[in-house]
Amino acid sequence: MEIFNSQQYPVHDLTKMYGQLDTLKKQYDDDGVVVLKDFLGSEYLESLINESRALANQAYFNTVSGNPYLCESDPNLPGDHALNHKESTTLGVIAGDQLPESSVSRQIYRSQALRDFVASIIGIPKIFDYQCKLGFINIARMVKDNYLRWHFDLSDFVVSIPIQSASKGGVYQYIHNLKSDNDPNYDGVSKVLTHGSPQIKSLQTPPGSLILFQGKHTMHRVTKVEGDVDRYVLLLGFASKDHVKGSDYLRQIRYGRTK
């Protein structure tokens, strides 16, 4: 059995993917997201589902309130300013050190072929480990009434594999390049938060897909889970440089502990 669908995505021999890689690179640059459907072998997807369900009761659930920029609010600004807009996120997380050494999750994370493939699409020389035993890999679990608020990521890119979709709700939505390094676009963000926007796109994320996403400038959320089937997503903590790790504060609110 192969972890990845090598017939459709021969990641172990990228010379067979030159034309396809060019297309994927352009899509990533233009749209900020690439969804590679049926990327994971069906047997391994089934194993991921079983792993997630077996560890479901170990997930740490927390509710955190804040603004889309994941930074402190500013009392000197008006109450309706984007930095002072507060919304709550509630979800559960199974940390990396809770996943067995023999788990499929760890096998996927350790795959050098996957790392080379991801690096070639997002345009960096090399993929590095995320230096955190809790976050180098983790599984996000969303149950009924859980919601991931509108936000921008702090990292340059996110690599994930949907494991199981909610029966209702739990839809990934985004607006590409709503801000930039030079322009936080507070007014534009406020309008979306208050009135919505026709620019909002819903992303189809079938289980077993590989998703590469630029969330630093793209505001995104996961709508409320409404059904009784949990939503699971494997998050792969890859980094574009060495020695990257999160803060104790971020670890505490995400995993309920710092080590």
For 225-254, how does the pLDDT look when each residue is reduced to its tens digit (9 = 90+)? 999 999 999 999 999 999 998 889 889 999
The pLDDT tens digits for 177-227 are: 999 999 999 999 999 999 999 999 999 999 999 999 999 999 999 999 999
Structure tokens of 58?
A: 């170990």
Is the alpha carbon torsion for 24, 165, 12, 108 positive or negative? positive
Contact 128, 241 (CB under 8 A): yes
Q: Dihedral angle at the C-alpha atoms of 35, 36, 38, 43, nearest 10 degrees?
A: -100
Q: In what order do the strands lie in the sheet with 158-164?
A: 33-36, 210-213, 158-164, 231-236, 137-142, 87-94, 60-66
Which numeric CATH code is attached to 18-255? 2.60.120.620
SS3 28: helix
**What are the boundaries of each domain within the chain?**
18-255
The secondary structure element, H or E, covering residue 140 is strand 137-142
DSSP E strands in 130-189: the ranges are 137-142, 148-151, 158-164, 172-175
Distance CA 245, CA 237 (A): 10
Q: Assess contact for 93 and 138: CB atoms under 8 A.
A: yes
Per-residue model confidence as pLDDT tens digits over 86-136? 999 999 999 999 999 999 999 999 999 999 999 999 999 999 999 999 999
E strand or H helix that includes residue 105? helix 104-110
Is 52:139 a contact under the CB 8 Å cutoff? yes
61: Cβ–Cβ under 8 A, 6 or more apart, which residues? Answer: 90, 91, 92
